[in-house]
Structure 1
Amino acid sequence: MTTTEQPAHADVGFGRRPRVEDARFLRGKGQYVDDITLPGMLHGAILRSPHAHARIVSIDTSEAEAHPKVKAVITGATLESLKLAWIPSLSHDVIAVLATDKVRYQGQEVAFVVAEDRYSARDALELIDVDYDVLDPVIDAQRALDPGAPVIRDDIEGKADNHIFDWTAGDKDQTDAAFASAEVVVKQDMLYPRVHPAPLETCGSVAWMDPVSGKLTIWCTTQAPHAHRTLYALVAGLPEQKIRVVSPDIGGGFGNKVGIYPGYVLSVVGSIVTGAPVKWVEDRSENLVSTSFARDYHMHGEIAATRDGRILGLRVDVLADHGAFNNTAQPTKYPAGFFHIFTGSYDYPAAYCTVKGVYTNKAPGGVAYACSFRVTEACYLVERIVDCLADELGMDPAELRMKNLLRPERFPYLSPTGWEYDSGEYPRALAKAMEMAGYEQLRKEQAEKRARGELMGIGVSFFTETVGAGPRKHMDILGLGMADGAEVRVHPTGKAVVRLSVQTQGQGHETTFAQIVSEVTGIPSADIEVVHGDTDNTPFGLGTYGSRSTPVSGAAVAVASRRIVDKARLIASAMLEVSPEDLEWDRGKFFVKGDPSTAKTIQEIAFASHGTQELPEGVEGHLDAECVYDPPNLTYPFGAYICVVDVDKGTGQVKVRRFIAVDDCGPRINPMIVEGQVHGGLADGVGMALMEVIAFDEEGNCLGGSFMDYQLPTALECPSWELGETVTPSPHHPLGLKGVGESATVGSPPAVVNAVIDALKPYGVRHVDMPLTPAQVWRAMQGRPFRTDLAITDE
């Protein structure tokens, strides 16, 4: 892909620009949901179940209702009378807003108190008396399908077990034939444990049902305002034009804020019941225990190869723990998400995958947490089992990968599961990462340290991401196709506004989307306002998750901007009294061919479009355009990562000494923002690999309910990242962009784990499940690793 030469103006087009959002964030002037204060506003608090599985015998709310500051106490019975007791999930399941028959996970919502202030609302929760009949919980997904296991979803008519779905991808017969012809077959069981997005800002909402206008306004921590509005309309029966969803500044989302939580609905019901605005904001423990998790996949992988290291096929069997309700944010056709693109970055002819979803007594979810719909789990499985194969063959893991990576001439590449990768130069990315790392010298250093009894590990991973959820013919959520709208309007003075259907949670949309308009039109990005997060003022779209922003909404903005330029050509031709074909475009202005001095700038054209200039036939005036973009395919960013660790023999403590990350996301709108997102994703991956896990005891008690128990990485655990890039534009995106927001989270966990396992080779260790805490690593060195998702050991 070629681009025109950058103009002299420093604020036009792609390139490093300070984030315009930072001016308010650094001054503490951001506007978050908890900053919303309305006249007469009341506050809500949720009573949550202390049990993972129990029938509700009775609920006595009389003492809470007698509290002098309490305005209402809402139970499941209240909601049933309003026909709001159950809401549809994003996966066509139904979720109880408040438990009516029984609770199905610890932290499930049981009652909602509305009071004059937050403290009184929380105090009144202690006055509600709930009589529970405690039942045996099902915590282990591998036991959930055992005959005789307690049935969790007995609210579903005819449901006699905990099975949700069975799903397959690939050709079983072809894969079986590949394995039958293989010289080497390696098998490995592995767990990607439950982790949590843990955004800086927890979830919350403020709801106001105006009794005069009948309009419902919801300020909400949502990544998908328009999808929420449609769902509220479907559930509540309100006209959609009478619902406004506003998503102000969001302190991180990472998929945690895609779905609709009971607290959002309860704030709406609270406003309906009391006639006043109602605010609900959860605390940190509520966020960790009861909002959507990620991962929780039990995976069995098998890889077939020749003795010289040519991979022939991959076979995978997955058990997916979806918690008490199936609330995964996945496209309807793909209940296991994009695990069907599980073949990764290697060129082999056959692959087959089966995924079984089950209910357990855990919080529901399965969000697209900093990944594109389960690609993270798939990449982890592939990269771990490729390392296991390298160990079996006695090959260097980088050499094995280089031998099997897809070559540039194979693109566009049709995977064994039927998905077409758009473009890539995979060997070049791996070669660059190895060069940056000084790979051969690292291996020499490792050999010297092993001779001295020191534990040093080098981990390699290669990943292919699948982002830009669409096209709509393949992908929808609750019947809503994954297309996105954008509107661009140039005012008479040449300033512009772009309205988006996606919602930022820190990605820098206000900066980068202005740069897209600037790149196409030549209008300085400082003169472009970006509007998002308000359904009354933005076009319809399904929101931000799965790295959809740049591949889908960014394409919509680019197409709309090109339409602005096309219309400007017609107006300029009238202004210059020449044929449109006689004009040449130099970003920001049109001039007559052969005479650059005879030109009209985009600003002059905008003024003329609103003025007295006689316009060409068919041109109505004003300089604006819109686009609803239905992507023809996903985009496929990729990367090569190398991690270097040191392991303390006495304690099992892992120190990440170096991390080299080479990413290819196509052309970079703003390299500074890309680097920041990669930094965050790498830290995220280190956290998941070494410390993060939501575990449970045998009674279903969540053991990760605070940051004392759920450890997050800090600067102390992260090295100085060493970043590199290659650029392979996507052939079907208007600007060649691929997206990058989640790539580092996909590729980094296997690189870290591979490095630790590499360090433990002297102990004969082939695999250890994440997180590789000091205790887990030390036990592996003793030959006694344990399940990290359950607080049950062999001691």
Structure 2
Amino acid sequence: MTLVDPRRDPAAAAPVPNGFGPMLRKEDGRFVRGRGRFVDDIDLPGMLHGAVLRSPYAHARIVSIDTGGALAHPKVRAVITGADLERRGMAWLPTLSHDVAAVLATDKVRYQGQEIAFVVAEDRYSARDALALIDVEYEPLAPVVDARRALDPDAPLVRDEVPGRADNHVFDWEAGDAAATDAAFAAAEHVSTCDLLYPRVHPAPLETCGIVAALDPVTDRLVVHCTTQAPHAHRTLYATLTGIPEHRIRIVAPDIGGGFGNKVALYPGYLCAVYAATITGAPVKWTEDRSENLMSTSFARDYHMHGEIAATKDGRITGLRVRVLADHGAFNGTSQPSKFPAGFFHIFTGSYAIQAAHCRVTGVYTNKAPGGVAYACSFRITEASYLVERMVDVLAFDLGLDPAQVRRKNLLRPEQFPYRCATGWVYDSGDYPRALEQALEMAEYAELRAEQAQRRAEYERTGEGALLGIGLSTFTEAVGAGPKKQMDIGGLGMADAAELSVHPDGTAELRLSCMSQGQGHETTFAQIIAHELGISPYAVNVVQGDTDRTPFGLGTYGSRSTPVSGAAAATAARRVRERAKLVAAAMLEISPADLEWEAGRWQVRGDPAAGASLAEIARAAHGSLELPDDLEGQLSGRCVYNPPNLTFPFGAYVCVVEVDPGTGQVRVRRFVAVDDCGVRINPTVVEGQIHGGLADGIGMALMEVLAFDTDGNHLGASFMDYLLPTALECPSWELGQTVTPSPHHPLGAKGIGESATVGAPAAVVNAVLDAIGVRHADMPLTPAQVWSAMRGRPLRTDLAVR
């Protein structure tokens, strides 16, 4: 018997039933064989290498920069400073939040690790060695590192280059109805308050950021291979900054080893490599090391939050009021496309029917690295979800109620959808109580509470044994950045495109504007086309990441892939199918109205034997068949999809932990996750996304933090200091699901890439605090933090006093 390899003979492969269902990822074959192609694998003839000189200070005037020693190095070809970029009008880089950031510092440095100079040499080692030969004279200045001091009258001024600026204020923004909320609090039977910190964390992708920039001497084009999640947006930005017309720029994003929002922005190292390629005439590669990635590329979170929740004595929530101080670092470089300075934090009422709600967010500059990426969340929803889930637990703690009962009392009901929340967004669909009940049943919640009581009694009697904690989280995510009227990047609307062509042999090519960083696009999008056209997913080639071969779009982040690009692909396929119907009618010499679609073929209604398969139709469309005058030949379709609304996946999580009261050590014993992401295209891919997000949540809750000392020194610049979870810290995940299709998405899909990271941190924190009987302590709940919290003195986790 001869086995057929579907990757070699796609026409012989049987379709996955309905296109959707479990299927091994098509891209994994090359990855497990070491045949992936990443930016650092690219080695062009005559290629030079770049290295960045970074500031050791968080705040200092630059008195002088002497590059003579570096230029004297025999292998150094160029040293670029901010003055060089100023002469080309490239000294300042526009951010995605309508601010500007220095590419290379000229007047002063504003955070430790800020870029000062760029060395270009014949090899990477010589470039890095030459950095030590650059002599920079600094005049140290006092930094402001604590966001809570940034607006003090005597606080050091971070952005003194801006004429008329007198303080570190970035923005004030609010959402909700302040008057109605104040009235709800005035009438409340009970009010709980809590101060919370969501500390600064980092996406820490496996592959750091990198670029290879080259001028093609034949075509006179700039060709950039880059670790970017948004190739077309990067092309537009390069054109704007360099003056090179966009049609003379090609961006290629090869395989990317994780992004998580970290690879949305345009970083100074990228622009310096492009500039270096133009002045040397040679290709220039720059790849950052791990410390550079952790110190200077976009962070996430860093929100100081004050929450107030109003309720009846039996736990019915009547109002929610929030005040937030957002630390944006030295430049407002937040990678979020919404027109709201605080992103989607204003979807802060979560999964609950809270009609009286108001939040106010104030952004400030500090002497820290800029940014604030959409790190596995949709632009601040993670902070909002953490806030409301902690406040619900604080309310239950204060009233002596079961956290599950408080949630049951306040969750949105299915009949309330579509639901307009207190800040105006319309949730598309959901059955939140069903997800919660499934999670509680899977976790055996009542039995866990009985075990917890038994353990506490034993501990009080003997002083020995681990404490058991059960934490809940019921969250709503909002994904699919768009529609264009509310979201853009640099004036570019958040729509995405897909182009589909069916070849004469019946195989197809799908060209996407989004870009995978490990999400499995080559498989999932092939299944979408298979579902719509009735062909094998192995017969579909998915093209992405090359601006010469793909339509314009804004890229992949904020869990946009399926909600936006997936909708574009499905719509393009339906247009192909309708064109195929007209071709089939011409082939069969009947009216299109007499045809019906059935699993990959158009057939005559009432006579299934008479019809034509998609491959036969494609051959005819490319051949000499006489078609109606208004029908073009070939089979192709295109869609630019502007979503009518966000999609709103949701879930209910139960985390079970054991805490050693003597050491504060936390062990996650179980984690039950019930997610609803609408229609699931490939359940295996969905589960993989959830697994990664749950691990992220454990990391953020228990160990991850970018901390600084009072001089602004970065205390998490290596994986010895910035801890990430491993398999040892993660349990065997227990996954459940509900399926509530989105009514406005062509496939009913909602997206899943970021849900687990939104819901998991609160579940873990709630579990740990439930175990030790403490009302609140800030993340990360390290052993030292847990031990101190048990003794009534929680630690400050984001700032270390020297």
Pair 1:608-2:614 in alignment: no
The match for 2:316 among 310, 318, 322 is: 310
Which of the residues 350, 353, 356 maps onto 2:362?
Answer: 356
Partner of 1:473: 485
CA–CA distance in structure 1, aligned partners of residues 75 and 265 of structure 2: 31
CA displacement at 1:214 relative to structure 2: 2.5
Taking the aligned partners of 1:698 and 1:166, their CA distance within structure 2 comes to 26
The 5 Å alignment of 1:353-752 reads 353-453=359-459, 454-752=466-764
| Structure-2 residue corresponding to 1:94 | 100
Report the Cα offset of residue 351 of structure 1.
0.6
Deviations 1:595-642 (A, max 9, x none): 111121111111111111121341111000000000000000000000
The alpha carbon displacement at 1:331 in A equals 2.3
CA contact (8 A) 1:91 1:332 kept: no
Mapped contact 1:11–1:526 kept (Cα < 8 A): no
Offset at residue 71 of structure 1 (A): 0.3
**1:49 maps to which residue?**
55
Partner of 2:86: 80
Offset at 1:273?
1.4
Go from structure 1 to structure 2 and tell me whether the alpha carbon gap of 1:248 and 1:48 turns closer, same or farther (over 3 Å shift): same
1:341 to 310, 331, 347: 347
Q: 1:788 maps to which residue?
A: 797
Q: Contact 2:232–2:554 (CA<8 Å) still a contact in 1?
A: yes
Displacement of 1:563: 0.3
In the TM superposition, what is the alpha-carbon distance from 1:12 to its structure 2 partner? 5.7
Following the alignment from structure 2 to structure 1, what is the Cα–Cα distance between the partners of residues 416 and 120?
61
CA distance in 1, matches of 2:707, 2:486: 35
The one-character-per-residue Cα deviations of 1:640-668 (angstroms, maximum 9, x if unpaired) are 00000000011000000000000000111
CA distance in 1, matches of 2:515, 2:119: 30
SS in 1 for 2:149: coil
Distance 1:116 1:10 in 2: 51
Show the counterpart of 2:182. 176
**TM-score normalised per structure 1:** 0.98
Unaligned residue ranges in structure 1 (runs of 5+) = 1-6
* Amino acid of the structure 2 residue aligned with 1:459: G
Deviation of the 1:348 alpha carbon: 1.7
Report the Cα distance in structure 2 between the residues aligned to 1:530 and 1:322, rounded to whole angstroms.
37
Note the C-alpha offset of 1:392: 1.4
Amino acid at match of 2:660: D
Aligned residues of 1:656 and 1:719 also touching (Cα < 8 A): yes
Aligned position for 2:765: 753
Instruction: Tell me what 2:270 maps to.
Output: 264
Aligned to 2:3: none
SS of equivalent residue, structure 1 residue 452: helix
SS in 1 for 2:214: strand
CA distances 1:547-593 after superposition (whole Å, capped 9, x unpaired)? 00100000000000000111111111111222111111112011111
User: 1:70-149 to 2 correspondence within 5 Å?
Assistant: 70-149=76-155
**Conserved? CA contact 2:81–2:104, under 8 Å:** yes
Give, as a single letter, the amino acid of the residue that structure 2 aligns with 1:558: A
**3-state SS of 1:59 partner:** strand
Aligned residue type for 2:37: Q
The alpha-carbon deviation at position 783 of structure 1 amounts to 0.9
Letter in 1 for 2:300: A
Distance 2:492 2:737 in 1: 35
Aligned-pair CA distance for 1:787: 0.9
C-alpha separation between the residues in 2 aligned to 1:92 and 1:570? 48
Report the CA distance between 1:252 and its aligned residue. 0.3
2-side partners of 1:198 and 1:508: how far apart? 20
Pairwise CA RMSD = 1.0
In structure 1, give the amino acid aligned to 2:129. D
Matches within 5 A, 1:765-776: 765-776=774-785
CA distance in 1, matches of 2:293, 2:489: 24
What SS is found at the alignment partner of 2:799?
Answer: coil
Query: 1:87: how far off?
Result: 1.1
Shift of 1:82: 1.2
Q: Distance in 1 between matches of 2:801 and 2:382?
A: 26
**Residue equivalent to 2:4:** none
Gaps of 5+ in 2: 1-12, 460-465
User: Structure 1: which amino acid aligns with 2:221?
Assistant: K
What's 2:8 paired with? none
| C-alpha deviation, 1:792, in angstroms | 2.6
Q: So what's the TM-score if we normalise by structure 2?
A: 0.97
Q: Secondary structure at the match of 1:167?
A: strand
What per-residue deviation string (whole Å, max 9, x for no partner) do you get for residues 177-211 of structure 1? 11111101000000000000000000010001234
Relative to structure 1, the CA distance from residue 268 to residue 72 in structure 2 (aligned partners, 3 Å threshold; closer, same or farther) is same
Q: Deviations over 1:701-725 (max 9, x none)?
A: 0000000000000000000000000
Is contact 1:11–1:525 with CA below 8 Å preserved after alignment? no
Match of 1:3 in 2: none
SS at match of 1:142: helix
User: Which residue of structure 1 lines up, in the alignment, with residue 41 of structure 2?
Assistant: 35
Q: In the alignment, is the contact (CA less than 8 A) between 2:14 and 2:536 conserved in 1?
A: no
Is contact 1:459-1:754 (8 Å) kept? yes
State the secondary structure of the residue aligned to 1:279. strand
Aligned-residue offset at 1:726? 0.2
CA offsets, 1:438-494, max 9 Å, x none?
111111111111111141100000000000000001111111100001000001111
Report if the CA contact (8 A) 1:484-1:556 is conserved.
Answer: yes
The amino acid of 2:94's aligned partner reads P
Deviation at 1:332, TM superposition (A): 4.7
The answer to whether the 8 A contact 2:54-2:115 is kept is yes
Residues matched between the structures, number: 784
Structure-2 residue corresponding to 1:201: 207
Shift of the alpha carbon at 1:330? 1.6
- The whole-number CA distance in structure 1 between the counterparts of 2:548 and 2:257 is 22
Counterpart amino acid of residue 562 in structure 1:
R
Question: Are the structure 2 counterparts of residues 203 and 599 from structure 1 closer, same or farther at C-alpha, using a change threshold of 3 Å?
Answer: same
Distance 2:163 2:502 in 1: 56
> Which residue matches 2:255?
249
Q: Residue in 2 aligned with 1:4? A: none
Which residue of structure 1 aligns with residue 462 of structure 2? none
* Shift, 1:771, TM fit: 0.1
CA contact (8 A) 1:12 1:524 kept: no
> Is the Cα contact below 8 Å between 1:197 and 1:254 reproduced in 2?
yes
> Secondary structure at 2:473's aligned position in 1?
strand
Q: CA deviation at 1:10?
A: 3.5
Give per-residue Cα distances to partners, 1:250-307, cap 9 Å, x unaligned. 0000000000000000001111111100000000000001110000000000001111
Partner SS, residue 653 of structure 2? strand
| Separation in structure 2 between the aligned mates of residue 346 and residue 689 of structure 1, nearest angstrom | 23
User: Following TM superposition, by how much is the alpha carbon of 1:141 offset from its aligned partner in structure 2, in angstroms?
Assistant: 0.3
Shift in alpha-carbon separation, 1:526–1:11, aligned structure 2, 3 A:
farther
Question: What is the rounded CA distance, in whole Å, between the counterparts of 2:704 and 2:608 in structure 1?
Answer: 60
Alignment of 1:141-160 (within 5 A): 141-160=147-166
Tell me the alpha carbon deviations over residues 305-361 of structure 1, each in whole angstroms, 9 at most, x when there is no partner: 111111111100000000001100122511101001111000121110000000000
